[in-house]
Amino acid sequence: MFTQAALQRRSVRNYSDLKFSDALKAQIAQAVKALIPLYDDAVTNFKFCPANMIRDEIKGNIVKAPYYIIVSAKKADGYLENVGYMMEQLVIWLTQNGIGSCYCGMGRPASGSDISDEYCITLALGFPSEKEAFRTAPEQFKRKAFESYLLGDKENDFLEPYIRYARLAPSAINAQPVMFEMAGNAVHVYRKKPHFSKLEKMQRIDTGIALSHIFMYAREQGYHIDYFKDSNTGNDRYIYFISLNILEDSNE
């Protein structure tokens, strides 16, 4: 279940040496194929890479792990948000299967790497070592108060659980930049303007990750999401990304 995995997930930075079986690698490849993009025409590449080959592809500060998935994508509107949206579905799937992972935002392509399209981010993965077990209680999340994720109305019984699960989503340097505005069954999604421009790319990915929690929660509840762009364009502090309506599946 998404809800259970979202409550258990944590960034895993210590891994055991246990190798993945070929069957498990095939299952991961299958899970990647089943990821649902935000845009039907998005081109996103997931390249599986064992630790002994990662330095041929990625340099910089990345978490030490037995495996990596290098994610790149064709540049288009919302491509980084889409990367976060797809990757977080994978992260939840991995969690459900006892596999730990950590987004690595500090890497960059090594010279001579054969990464296609635009490099976005790398995911470290593997079986967690003993002391890096998954979370067992909600208090273990270091997150801002629920209300500080909201612009405008603070009360909406229907939408509250959606935002509560979005709040558990990971974000680069735990900055938690994504903000929500609740309006009936609709949610408008924004992110705070980053303090320094280097964070821009990562915070676009953060936005897709948080959105993906809303999507996965809706799916589990038997709802689906219709995305739309509102005339709303944000302001000096908040950058508008997208809006969504949460609808019963029978309305399809």
Ligand X SMILES: Cc1cc2nc3c(=O)[nH]c(=O)nc-3n(C[C@H](O)[C@H](O)[C@H](O)COP(=O)(O)O)c2cc1C
Residues that bind ligand X (CB under 6 A): 10-11, 13, 63, 102-106, 121, 141, 170-174, 202, 205-206, 209
181/206 with CB nearer ligand X: 206
Min separation Cβ 105 and ligand X, Å: 3
- Residue 119 host element (H or E): strand 118-126
Helices 79-96 and 22-33 pack at an angle, to 10 degrees, of 140
Min separation Cβ 220 and ligand X, Å: 20
28/172 with CB nearer ligand X: 172
12/28 with CB nearer ligand X: 12
3-state secondary structure (DSSP) of residue 45? strand
63/150 with CB nearer ligand X: 63
Pairwise CA distance, residues 116 & 113, whole Å: 9
Min separation Cβ 74 and ligand X, Å: 19
- How does DSSP classify residue 135? P
Min separation Cβ 206 and ligand X, Å: 5
Q: Which two tokens stand for residue 143?
A: 């997150």
Rounded to whole angstroms, what are the CA distances from 251 to 216, 223, 245? 18, 9, 12
For residue 45, give the nearest of 3, 13, 74, 10 by alpha carbon. Answer: 74
Min separation Cβ 174 and ligand X, Å: 3
198/229 with CB nearer ligand X: 198
* Residue showing tokens 């949610």: 187
Question: Do the beta carbons of residue 83 and residue 71 sit within 8 Å?
Answer: yes
- How does DSSP classify residue 21? P
Min separation Cβ 252 and ligand X, Å: 31
Q: Which two tokens stand for residue 251?
A: 């309305």
32/104 with CB nearer ligand X: 104
Pairwise CA distance, residues 2 & 19, whole Å: 25
User: How does 115-137 read in b/e, with b if 16+ C-beta sit within 10 Å?
Assistant: beebbbbbbbbbbbeeebebeee
38/246 with CB nearer ligand X: 38
- Using CB positions, name the residue nearest to ligand X: 170
Min separation Cβ 217 and ligand X, Å: 17
